[in-house]
Structure 1
Amino acid sequence: MPGWDADDHLAALRAFVTSCGRVAAAVKAGARIGKTNPTPELLAVCEAAERLSAAEPTRKTARAFFEEAFRPHRVLHRSETGLLTGYYEPLVEGSRVKDATFSAPLLRRPGDLVNLVSEAERGAVGERLTHARKDGAGWTPYPTRREIEEGALSGNDLELIYLRDPVDVFFMQVQGSGLVALPDGGKVRVTYDGKNGHPYTSIGRYLIDQGLFPADRMSLQALKRWLRANPERMRDVLWQNQSYVFFRELSGDEATAPRGVLEIPLTPGRSLAVDTAFHVIGTPIYVSSQRLVHATRKPGGFHRLMIAQDVGSAIRGPERGDIYFGSGHHAGSIAGVTKHPGNFYVLLPRQQAGQRDKPPRNRAVPRDTLIDAALPTRKPVRQARQ
């Protein structure tokens, strides 16, 4: 795989271990965390990774671990390359109290909101509703973005925190988490806590299709500038996306990092949002893109072992990934211009994927999307001194 030798496998091991406990706990609890739950073989590799992590591994032993434990398979579906985009944790100003400066609220999850699918599956259900309103007869569709912003949930004391304008609210919803700088100098970290269940619609694509913005100049930053420069059209454009996200405030230890699916702490440059109709949460996926140069500032592009730790409504298909780039404005400047072709190699446990070198039976990724790209087999890694 291109760039494998130069990657920091120790950083990948740390991100992998971050997933392991939460994935194992979810499986033990009987939760569905995607179309297919992690296999016993992946959970066994997780246990080995946790033992290695406790033994002060080096980059050399981390690399040896991945090469011994996994066999990589190139993901191919409809084309030679897939699509990579980026996301980040915004840092914006806000207040706990509504005033003339901060008047656009982030809302808490309403008490009558119910999940129709698990959170891990919400990116994999296409145009179906993922959440709804519970009522006496069962459930009904939840209000749309427009209906909510026009007062459908008013009077329910759902206001969590106030941001400067609807644009800041919208993009924090798109990213799924955020840091809010308060007037007293403190910061609050908020995270996704459900949505109204309506399908996501790209407002950037809407502007392009309407002839209001050239496709070759579209980026996250350009979209924000257009919305603020066209206040008379802003609301109507935002309302094209009927999806609306609710938040909760993180506190204590969980506030140290933004969270992905299963509340997995996200690692900049190592966490990948995927479509769980095809990929299993917690699986290592090697991502390679020669054209994604701005993300590393190194010649040769982006070549990195990442871990499937998140989902997104716009992330659909086996050759589709959303790279988490970190927090703040710099991470946003990288994520906002990331839309590049790339190749994906899913790493399956050798006990699961390579039995007698037969084609892998990955229950999540269709058999015809995988092509072997074998790593050298290493001697077993000594996990820890007894």
Structure 2
Amino acid sequence: MKTGATALCAGVVALSSFSLGAEAARRHYRSHHHHPPQLPAAPLRALPYPQLPLPFEIPGAQYLPLAWADVKGWSDDNHLAAYKTFRASCKPINAQTGASEPKALAGSLNEPCRAAKSLELADDAKAKTFFEENFAPLRISRLGEPDGFVTGYYEPVLEGSRTQTDVYNVPVYRRPSNLFVRGYKQDSVSLPNKGPVYRKIGRRKLVPYYDRAEIEDGKIAGRGLEIAWLKDPTDLLFAQIQGSARIKFDDGGSVRLNYDAYNGYPYTAVGRVLIERGIIPKEEMSMQKIREWMAQNPDGAKDLRRQNRSYIFFREVNLSDKEEAVGAQGIPLTAGRSIAVDKALHVYGTPFFIEGELPIESERSKTPFHRLMIAQDTGSAIIGPARADLYFGAGQEAGRVSGRLRHPMHFVMLVPKGLDPSARAARLPVPDPRPSEKIAKLFPQTDPGKGTAKPAAAAPADTKSDTVAIAGPVPLPAPRPAIEADREPQRPVKKRPQRQQ
């Protein structure tokens, strides 16, 4: 992709080289002389070709265009399942009416989404053809790194109570009314999970919001913010890390919770803290290992939780038990097909083909994983161009699988054909025709290296009289030499005595 951008820029650089050379000479002169001559400003040269936008660029990323045959495992995937997930993402994309996002793909997904709107596919081969006809594969990774990195997440199913009891005494809070984020109304749905968050005091005063330790110590208790009550603070911590939860009550009822806001502090991975303290080796780290250690060390667990000062507030969502959790795109996720990505770099609905080996079947297994996933969610810990959190569904088994994922994987981003650099090149206008053979002979080009005339290439006998002549390169003009301007001798200035005030 960067090669395409370089080729597209080459013509612009060549066309503007004369004016650039003159400007460089003027800068050189100004830097060496105190009194530069007043040169008339050079008129702006109009380019003969329109300046088409360059292919997209993702900050901090490196990428390589591929052929579909070079995408390992592409033919082995269930493309119909991926198509159904992509089509679900297209509903909010097709409904957008405002300006597109200022990101790499921007509004380019509109085109394939319009095509998918009328295609009720039921055949895997046709779904595979749809992706190949509407997208181009692009290998992507962080700059200087060969692979991307994946983790997993799920929706916890927890036991809880509607009221506080001796057993259920860990509150699950909704967003407080005094929590404030600049640029958002206080009743906005799903505030951002990055950036500063304030506690509003009165009408004008803003201070940082309470951190986890202050909230656990009761700073917002007794305000009617409790949605439900849990048994274990570790359950609440992991529900906050996952961003959603299902809480089942003794009377058979349940409540579905989704992320709504956070308190403004950056997320700190408790697993990394345990690794740094030498408690759990890095190669053995998993969510289950963290849970086991916290259960065996209640006092240490309290300190460990407070190392992560970030705190999540939830909102109730109206979902049935058969529906999956709702992602940041605003639609229910698909287990095994939805991923969370860095929202600062990527657009929801973007397909990513992720390939490698993961411990799906057991902790030590190397299950081949080659699957087309759709970006439908985000997370504060998901940072980078080739970083994804794979969604595995709800319940304990999904939690076990996702909890042991911390693995490098190959990322292939599917780029809409509207951004394909080869497709852009096909839309470039044809350059002006070169002079005829007769004109080329009358005004031969010279070789700047030898200083002798170089004849134009002779045309084949079977060509017409207006055959294009191949001329040698036109030498660039030498920069203007730095000539010091003559200065008039200055007359000595007589000092006058200062006047007395």
| TM-score category, normalised to shorter length | 0.7 to 0.9
Identical counterparts, % of pairs: 40
CA 1:96 to 1:154, structure 2 compared with 1: closer, same or farther past 3 Å?
same
Per the alignment, residue 445 of structure 2 pairs with none
CA 1:147 to 1:297, structure 2 compared with 1: closer, same or farther past 3 Å?
closer
Per the alignment, residue 311 of structure 2 pairs with 244
Q: Which amino acid aligns with 1:112?
A: N
Report the CA distance between 1:18 and its aligned residue: 1.3
Report the CA distance between 1:50 and its aligned residue: 2.0
Report SS of the residue matched to 2:110: helix
> C-alpha separation between the residues in 1 aligned to 2:108 and 2:274?
46
Q: Does 1:315 align with 2:385?
A: no
Does the 8 Å contact 2:191/2:260 carry over to 1? no
Could you give the per-residue CA deviations for residues 125-170 of structure 1, whole angstroms, max 9, x where no partner exists?
5xx43x3333433633111011111111123210001111110000
Per the alignment, residue 87 of structure 2 pairs with 17
Alignment size in residue pairs: 350
The equivalences for 1:39-188 within 5 A come to: 39-52=106-119, 55-76=120-141, 77-116=143-182, 122=192, 128-129=195-196, 131-135=197-201, 136-137=203-204, 139-188=206-255
Does 63-72 or 270-279 show the bigger shift? 270-279
CA 1:335 to 1:299, structure 2 compared with 1: closer, same or farther past 3 Å?
closer
Q: Which amino acid aligns with 1:234?
A: A
> C-alpha separation between the residues in 2 aligned to 1:204 and 1:70?
38
Report the CA distance between 1:40 and its aligned residue: 3.3
> C-alpha separation between the residues in 2 aligned to 1:350 and 1:268?
27
- What TM-score, normalized by structure 1, do the two folds share? 0.83
Does the 8 Å contact 1:120/1:311 carry over to 2? no
Report the CA distance between 1:293 and its aligned residue: 4.9
1:260 to 316, 322, 327: 327
Report the CA distance between 1:327 and its aligned residue: 0.5
Does the 8 Å contact 1:71/1:354 carry over to 2? no
2:395 to 313, 321, 328: 328
| Structure 1 residue runs without a partner (length 5+) | 359-386
Per the alignment, residue 78 of structure 2 pairs with 8
Per the alignment, residue 97 of structure 2 pairs with 28
Report the CA distance between 1:357 and its aligned residue: 6.5
Q: Which amino acid aligns with 2:340?
A: A
CA 1:277 to 1:292, structure 2 compared with 1: closer, same or farther past 3 Å?
farther
Report SS of the residue matched to 2:109: helix
Report the CA distance between 1:12 and its aligned residue: 0.5
Q: Which amino acid aligns with 2:130?
A: F
Q: Does 1:225 align with 2:292?
A: yes
Alignment RMSD, CA only?
2.7
User: Which has a greater percent of helix?
Assistant: 1
Q: Which amino acid aligns with 1:81?
A: D
| Structure 2 residue runs without a partner (length 5+) | 1-70, 426-501
- Name which one, 1 or 2, has greater alpha-carbon Rg: 2
CA 1:300 to 1:169, structure 2 compared with 1: closer, same or farther past 3 Å?
closer
> C-alpha separation between the residues in 2 aligned to 1:228 and 1:300?
30
Does the 8 Å contact 1:3/1:303 carry over to 2? yes
CA 1:287 to 1:99, structure 2 compared with 1: closer, same or farther past 3 Å?
same
Does the 8 Å contact 2:353/2:414 carry over to 1? yes
Does 180-189 or 301-310 show the bigger shift? 180-189
CA 1:255 to 1:194, structure 2 compared with 1: closer, same or farther past 3 Å?
farther
> C-alpha separation between the residues in 1 aligned to 2:282 and 2:404?
12
Report the CA distance between 1:242 and its aligned residue: 0.6
Report the CA distance between 1:122 and its aligned residue: 4.8
- Tell which has more relative contact order, 1 or 2 (C-alpha 8 A, sep 6+): 1
Per the alignment, residue 375 of structure 1 pairs with none
Report SS of the residue matched to 1:73: strand
CA 1:107 to 1:334, structure 2 compared with 1: closer, same or farther past 3 Å?
same
Q: Which amino acid aligns with 1:70?
A: F
